[in-house]
Amino acid sequence: MGHDTATLSPRPLDDALRAVARGDRAAFEELYRLTSAQLFGVCLRILPARAEAEDVLQDAYLSIWRRAASFDAARGSAMAWLITLTRNRAIDRLRARGVARETADATGLVETVVDPAPLASDLIETGQAQGRLAECLDQLETGDAGLIRTAFFEGLSYAGLAERIETPLGTVKSRIRRALLKLRACLQ
């Protein structure tokens, strides 16, 4: 009955996920209804071609169906869990295509790319004050924010970033670590 009580619960996604973990298809449909637009946004952000984004979204929901039991409400919000899982599927797809490199070639160096993020004012509530990271990123120097966004949206590690902007790994790492500490100060 997870999906019936879901709409009444203060944490409907938690309830829906728990029901999905028990194999409740109705709850799964409810979960899809509640989250598919947001998760499709995640897919599109990483893979702008709609057909591919849809494939990944389908993939992501199949993973959600299989892995719902591993969601732990004590370890963050359901939406963050769903977004993380979906983002990881999209990144997997991106890597499988080896497109990260093509994008780099097409867009030039990250250093010169203007931060492509939407304004933080355009937030949709995801349960917590998650949109604050976007706000705090806006307070960083543009280059730093762009690097962090690029890493996150393209699944690049320090090494990948260093290669991308043709900068020594150590330099990139210390630069981003400084930015991360600023972010944390801003976020807390």
Partner 1 sequence: MSAPLTEEDELAAAELALGLAGEAERQAGQARLHDDAGFADAYARWLGWAAGLFDGLAETPRPSLWRRIEASLPANDAAADMTSRLRRWQVASWVSGAVACVLAAVLVTQALPLAGPGPVAGALQAPMVALLSGADGVVSVSYDPATTRLTVVPDRLRTGGRTPELWVIPADGRPRALGVMPADTPGWMAAPPGAAKAMGAGVTIALSLEPAGGAPGDHPTGPVILSGRMGATA
Kindly list the residues in this chain that would bind partner 1 in the complex (CB under 8 A). Answer: 21-23, 25-26, 28-29, 32, 36-38, 40-42, 44-45, 54, 57-58, 61-62, 65-66, 75-77, 79-81, 83-84, 87, 91, 117-120, 122-126, 128-134, 137, 148-149, 151-153, 155-159, 161, 176-177, 180-181, 183-184, 187
Task: Give me the helices (H) in the chain, please.
Answer: 2-6, 12-21, 25-46, 50-67, 78-97, 99-107, 132-139, 142-154, 158-164, 169-187
Length of the chain: 188
Q: How far is the CB of 177 from partner 1 (least distance, A)?
A: 5
- Which CB sits closer to partner 1, 97 or 184? 184
- Which CB sits closer to partner 1, 131 or 143? 131
- Which CB sits closer to partner 1, 12 or 81? 81
Q: How far is the CB of 24 from partner 1 (least distance, A)?
A: 8
Query: What gap in Å lies between CA 58 and CA 18, rounded to an integer?
Result: 20
- Which CB sits closer to partner 1, 12 or 155? 155
Query: Contact 113/107 with Cβ under 8 angstroms?
Result: yes
Q: How far is the CB of 83 from partner 1 (least distance, A)?
A: 4
Query: What gap in Å lies between CA 57 and CA 36, rounded to an integer?
Result: 8
* Dihedral pair phi/psi, residue 116, rounded to 5°: -85, 5
